[in-house]
Chain A
Amino acid sequence: MRDVTLTINGTSKTGQIEDRTLLVQLIRDFLGMTGTHVGCDTSQCGACTVILDGKSVKSCTVLAAATEGADLKTIEGLADGDTLHPVQSAFRTHHGLQCGFCTPGMIMASVNIIERHKGQIDEATVRHELEGNLCRCTGYHNIVKAVLAAAESYPQGWPAGTDPH
């Protein structure tokens, strides 16, 4: 066992883990934050997407031990109490979800797309950059609409300190 300390959603947290523990297991099983989902567990579906040091990654394919000292953002870090993050709000407005299983990963990937491109995105960019997230309900159209709508409010309508860059 080893201790791994990282900043999660702005708060320093330490988990006692095995060297083989995956980042998603640290988040869900050791720290009890179950918003991050495990879909395929084979780095295909993107349901486990989190933002690690400003970059979206699939937390089922990252070793927790390798994240010592990292800055991690999960779906729990987006809303401010009852006030949804603009991307969460846009997914609701545009009906960008149905069963909701892929949604945390979709939203984390989308937040990262908008932040990396500083809100300057078109439909082709969104579709290309969401290739790593699978949704088996909606057919993606409303998800893409939601991401484009949320990008329009960047950065004025976004919470302070959301941009990792």
Chain B
Amino acid sequence: MYETRYHRPQTLAEAAQLYDGAEDPAFLSGGHTLIPTMKNRLAAPADLIDLRRIPELRGIRAADGRLIIGAAQTHAEVAASDIVRDAIPALAQLAGSIGDVQVRHMGTMGGSVANNDPSADYPSAVLSLGGCVVTSQRRIAADDFFAGLYATVLEPGEVIVAIEFPIPVAAGYAKHRNPASRYALAAVFVSRFDGRAPRVAVTGASESGVYRWSEAEERLAERFDVEALEGLTAVKAIMAEDMHACRAYRASLVATMTRRAVKAMGGMVVS
């Protein structure tokens, strides 16, 4: 790792001030992507601004049909939260399925969403639930937030403060993991709402990151059960292909995970 300067601001305003005054800064949250990247010398920010102790980024609450989770809450905290378990059990279970215990003790929801790894779990929940990403500057709808591999519409210096999730009638998550890395080869989050069409978001599979599967949403809008998905296949051309899985396999997994998520409404299944 190249040399860096570490800062631990106590407020959002102090973090912004540090960012503005630094030449080549990066925000640090759980660090479980950034620190390995720095160790490999693929990133070398001159200043690291640690966001984890900022009170504005903490807290979990439910109000007015929404679940609001502070960006610096760790995966372990989200998984263990009674508020999250009551409001959106599939989201709590998703958080409890990320990486391993040690990773969940450090990694944060805001860090994961800002990083937008194409195999990360949280982006699928944010997109499927139609969440709102609350930043230090504005409110961004999930449909406008993700912008391809490791990319979002966040501006330099913009910090995710919290994510607001509309509480659905029910949600389900199904994930098929690469057994070595434990990242999703394909995972699907399905949300069902009162008075609005269901939303289906896919992570891990596509070469451009998380996306909504509109054909599956249309089928489920007509009839919300697993038979409605019969014969529906995912488009192979948009799938990622690498040493772990070919396009055809990922496309097949997307259809299978979608059916499993519908069967798992109210929870999660992992394979």
Cβ contact within 8 Å between B100 and A46: yes
Other-chain residue from B1, B50, B106, B182 in contact with A20 (beta carbon distance below 8 A): B1
B102 and A109 form a contact (CB under 8 A) = yes
Cα(A55)–Cα(B101), bound, Å: 9
Chain A minimum-CB-distance residue to B53: A66
CB nearest to A105 among chain B residues: B102
State the CA gap A52–B106 with chains docked (Å): 10
Residues in B with CB closer than 8 Å to A113 are 101
- Say whether, besides A19-B5, A20-B2, A66-B6, A132 and B101 are in contact (CB < 8 Å): yes
Task: Enumerate chain A interface residues (CB-CB to B < 8 A).
Answer: 2, 18-20, 22, 41-43, 46, 49, 52, 55-58, 61-63, 65-66, 68, 109, 112-113, 129, 131-133
Q: Which of B31, B99, B100, B101 contacts A62 (CB 8 A)?
A: B31
Q: How many Cβ-Cβ contacts under 8 Å join chain A to chain B?
A: 73
Q: Which residues of A are found within 8 Å of B100, using beta-carbon distances? A: 46, 129, 131-133
Kindly provide the distance from the CB of A156 to the nearest chain B CB, expressed in whole angstroms. 25
Shortest distance between the CB of B55 and any CB in chain A (Å):
16
Among A49, A58, A63, A132, contact of B6 (Cβ-Cβ < 8 Å): A63
Cα-based distance from A109 to B105 in the complex (angstroms): 12
Is the CB–CB distance between A61 and B35 below 8 Å? yes
Q: Which residues of A contact B32 (CB under 8 A)?
A: 43, 61
Q: How far is the CA of A20 from the CA of B47 in the complex (A)?
A: 10
Q: Measured between alpha carbons, how far is A43 from B98 in the docked complex, in Å? A: 14
CB–CB B102/A66 < 8 A: no
The 0/1 profile, CB within 8 Å of A marked 1, for residues 23-41 of chain B is 0000010011001101100
- Which residues of chain B come closer than 8 Å to A49, judged between CB atoms? 102
**A-B pairs with beta carbons under 8 Å apart, 28 shown:** A2-B6, A19-B3, A19-B6, A19-B48, A20-B1, A20-B2, A20-B38, A41-B39, A42-B39, A43-B32, A46-B100, A46-B102, A55-B105, A57-B106, A58-B102, A58-B103, A61-B31, A61-B32, A63-B31, A65-B8, A66-B28, A66-B31, A112-B101, A131-B100, A132-B99, A132-B100, A132-B101, A132-B102
Majority-rule SS of B interface residues: mixed
The interface residues of chain A lying within 8 Å CB-to-CB of B3 are: 18-20
B4 interface contact, C-beta 8 A: yes
CA distance A2 to B4 in the complex (A): 12
Chain B residue with the shortest CB-CB distance to A65: B6
Interfacial chain A residues near B182, Cβ < 8 Å: 131
Name the residue of chain B whose CB is nearest to the CB of A58: B102
Q: How far is the CB of A108 from chain B (nearest CB, A)?
A: 10
When C-beta atoms are compared, the residue in chain A nearest to B105 turns out to be A55
Residues of chain A lying within 8 A (CB to CB) of residue B48: 19, 63
* A19 to B4 alpha-carbon distance, docked (Å): 6
CB of B129 within 8 A of chain A?
A: no
- B76 touches A (CB below 8 Å): yes
**Residues in chain A near residue B106, CB distance under 8 A:** 57-58, 61-62
For the complex with contacts A42-B36, A58-B102, A109-B101, 12 further pairs of A-B residues with Cβ separation under 8 Å are A19-B3, A20-B38, A22-B35, A43-B32, A43-B102, A57-B105, A61-B106, A63-B31, A63-B35, A66-B50, A113-B101, A131-B101
Cα distance, A20 to B2, chains bound together (Å): 7
Cβ-defined contact, B1 with A56, below 8 A? no
A17 to chain B: closest residue by CB: B6
| Complex interface: chain B residues within 8 A of A112 (CB) | 101
Residue of B nearest to A50 (CB): B102
